[in-house]
Amino acid sequence: MLDFNQSNHRIEKAGFVRKPEKGGLTITQVASPLRRPVIVPSLDNETVDRRDRNHVAWTSVRQERWEGELVVQGEIPLWLKGTYLRNGPGLWHIEDYNFRHLFDGYATLVKLQFENGRLIAGHRQIESEAYKAARKNKKVCFREFSEVPKYENFMAYVGDIAKLFSGASLTDNANTGVVKLGDGRVVCLTETQKGSLVIDPNSLETLGRLEYSDSLGGLIHSAHPIVTDAEFLTLLPDLVNPGYLVVRMEPGTNERKVIGRVNCRNGPAPGWVHSFPVTEHYVVVPEMPLRYCAQNLLRAEPTPLYKFEWHPESKAFLHVMCKASGKIVASVEVPLFVTFHFINAYEEEDEDGRVTAIIADCCEHNADATILDQLRLQNLRSFNGKDDLLPDASRVGRFTIPLDGSPCGKLESALEPDEHGRGMDMCSINPTKLGKKYRYAYACGAQRPCHFPNTLTKLDLVKKKAKNWHEAGAVPSEPFFVARPGATEEDDGAVISLISEKNGNGYALLLDGSTFEEIARAKLPYGLPYGLHGCWVPKE
C-alpha cells in the first residue's frame, strides 16, 4: 500500500536520482514513498550524451523504474481518484545500437496515481520477451516495427524467416497502449497478438501474457481494440485471404468469438488497421490503401513504408458490420485516406428513427503515408525549431457512410484544419460517448513551425472551433479525458497529459475539460520520453 503520510518535500527530494555514470550499468537507489529503496538499474552508457543533443521526448528513458510523490502546483480535484496509465516506446537503443523508428522502442509504462489531491507518479519498463532477450543478449532478438535481428549468416536468416510464419520471431514488445478489461485485468498491447501483456496497475510489474484460448490463429490484430466493461472487440487481419475477422471477447474469458468476416474489396492484402470505430450497433471496418505487405515483412532492411505498401489503385473502402448478426450492411468506396486513429463513430437517424448513415471520424493525414517515415527517430531528433516540417499534416476526417445501398461514401474535414494548426492526432473522447453522437474530442494539434504535434487541442465538432494549449518547446502526449463522476455535461471532467520539455524536464499536466485551462501541474524528477496511449483505472 502506498503511504501518503510523508511530506511532499522529503519525497520529492528523495525521488531525484543521480545521473547514470558513463561506461556501464549503474545501480542507483531511490527512496520512494513506499519507504523501501527501489533498485533502479540505469539503462545505458550513453544516455547523458544523447540527452544533451536531443529533446527528452525522443531520448531513451534514463532508468528502468522510478516511483515517488510529486509536488503539485495548483489543485487536483478531489473527485479525481484512480490511476492514469500511459504506455509507449521509451527505450530506443541496446548498448551502442540505436533504433530507427519511434515505434521500435521498448515499452515504458507510466502511472499517475491520484488520491485526495495528491499525486504519486512512477514508470517501469515492460518485461516483454523481446525486451528481456535484448537486455540479456545485448542485441535485438525479435522482429520489431522496423528493427530486425542482425543475422550472423544466411542460414540464420532462413531460420528466422521460418519462425516468422509461426510468429516465433515477432516481437511481443507491448508498447502501443494499455487497456482495462471489464474483469479488471490491465493489458498492454501492440499490433502482434503475442504482445498482449497483463500488468499490475499499482506496481507496473509485468504479470504475464494474455494467452487467447480460442483457435482463431493469426499473428496480428488492431493495436486499438474497443474496450468497455461489457466487451473487448477487435479486428484480426487475414493476410492469406485478404480480409478481416471481427471478434469479441467477454470479460473473465480469454476466448475471442467471431462476430463476422469482411472480405477485402480490392488489393493484394488487407489495409493496415491500427484502429477502427464502432457505433452502438455496428462495427466499421476500414480498408485503407496503405496495405500490409508480405514481401516487406521478410526484408532485413526496412522500406520507407516499413511492413506496408501504398496501393492507391486498390482504392479505399469502409465496411459496416452489424454487431448482433455479423451481417455486412454497407460497403462503400471512399476517397483515399491515411489514418492511425479513429476518434469515434455514430448512427445518423431520420425523423422516424431509422438509421440512414454512419458518421465516422478519424485523425486523417491527407492521404499521405509518408507520416510513417516522419516518425523515424532521426527526423524527430533533427528539428531546428524553425522550419515547418509538418505542412498540412492532418485534420479531423469525417466519413459519411450511407446505409441506402449507395456505392460511395464521403470524406470531409469536420472543422477547418487551421483551427488546430493543420495537424492533429492522438485523440480521446468522453468514454460515455463511445459509439454515440458526440461533440468534443481532445487531441494533440500543431503550432507552427513544428515537425510534430506540439499543442493540446479541445475540438468542438458542433461549433467547429478548437481551443489550444501550447508551451514553447514542449511535446505533450495524448490528452486523456476523465469524466467527473456524476457529470451530465460531455466535457465535465479533467484532461491529463504528460509533457516533455525542451530543457530535459517534464511534468504531469491537468486541464479542465470544459474551460481547457490549467488546473494543476506536477514536475517529474526528469523528463520522460514521448508516450502513446493511456487508460484510466478508477479507484474502487
Ligand X SMILES: CC(/C=C/C=O)=C\C=C\C=O
Residues lying near ligand L7D5B6GP in the complex (CB under 6 A) are found at 89, 103, 143-145, 170-171, 175-176, 190-192, 220, 223, 297, 307, 532
Quote the least distance from Cβ 339 to ligand L7D5B6GP, whole Å.
13
Which residue lies nearer to ligand L7D5B6GP by CB, 26 or 192?
192
286 forms part of the interface with ligand X (CB under 6 A): no
Quote the least distance from Cβ 36 to ligand L7D5B6GP, whole Å.
33
C-alpha to C-alpha distance for 192 and 210, rounded to whole angstroms: 12
Please tell me what DSSP assigns to residue 21.
P
394 forms part of the interface with ligand X (CB under 6 A): yes
C-alpha to C-alpha distance for 510 and 533, rounded to whole angstroms: 16
- Contact stretch for ligand X (CB under 6 A) within 259-267, 300-308, 418-426, 515-523: 418-426
Grid coordinates belonging to 152: 550472423
Question: Could you give phi then psi for residue 290, rounded to 5 degrees?
Answer: -85, 105
- Contact stretch for ligand X (CB under 6 A) within 36-44, 312-320, 403-411, 422-430: 422-430
Query: Residues 413, 458: contact at Cβ < 8 Å?
Result: no
Helix (H) or strand (E) holding 499: strand 493-500
453 forms part of the interface with ligand X (CB under 6 A): yes
| Cβ-based neighbours of 185, under 8 Å, separated by 6 or more | 198, 210
Compute the chain's Rg from CA coordinates.
22
524 forms part of the interface with ligand X (CB under 6 A): no
Quote the least distance from Cβ 357 to ligand X, whole Å.
28
**Contacted by 513, from ligand L7D5B6GP, ligand X, none: CB < 5 to 8 Å by type:** none
Which residue lies nearer to ligand L7D5B6GP by CB, 12 or 104?
104
- Binding to ligand X (CB under 6 A) within 151-210 occurs at 176
Which residue lies nearer to ligand L7D5B6GP by CB, 317 or 340?
340
340 forms part of the interface with ligand X (CB under 6 A): yes
380 forms part of the interface with ligand X (CB under 6 A): no
Which residue lies nearer to ligand L7D5B6GP by CB, 223 or 264?
223
Which residue lies nearer to ligand X by CB, 30 or 126?
126
What b/e readout covers 266-288, taking b as 16+ CB neighbours within 10 angstroms?
bbebbbbbbbbbbbebbbbbbbb
Quote the least distance from Cβ 272 to ligand L7D5B6GP, whole Å.
7
C-alpha to C-alpha distance for 142 and 122, rounded to whole angstroms: 27
Omega of the bond prior to 431 within 30 degrees of 0, cis? no
C-alpha to C-alpha distance for 263 and 106, rounded to whole angstroms: 34
Residue indicated by cell numbers 544516455: 47
Nearest C-alpha neighbor of 481 from the set 60, 195, 80: 80
Residues at the contact surface with ligand X, assessed by CB under 6 A = 176, 340, 371, 393-394, 423, 425-426, 453, 532
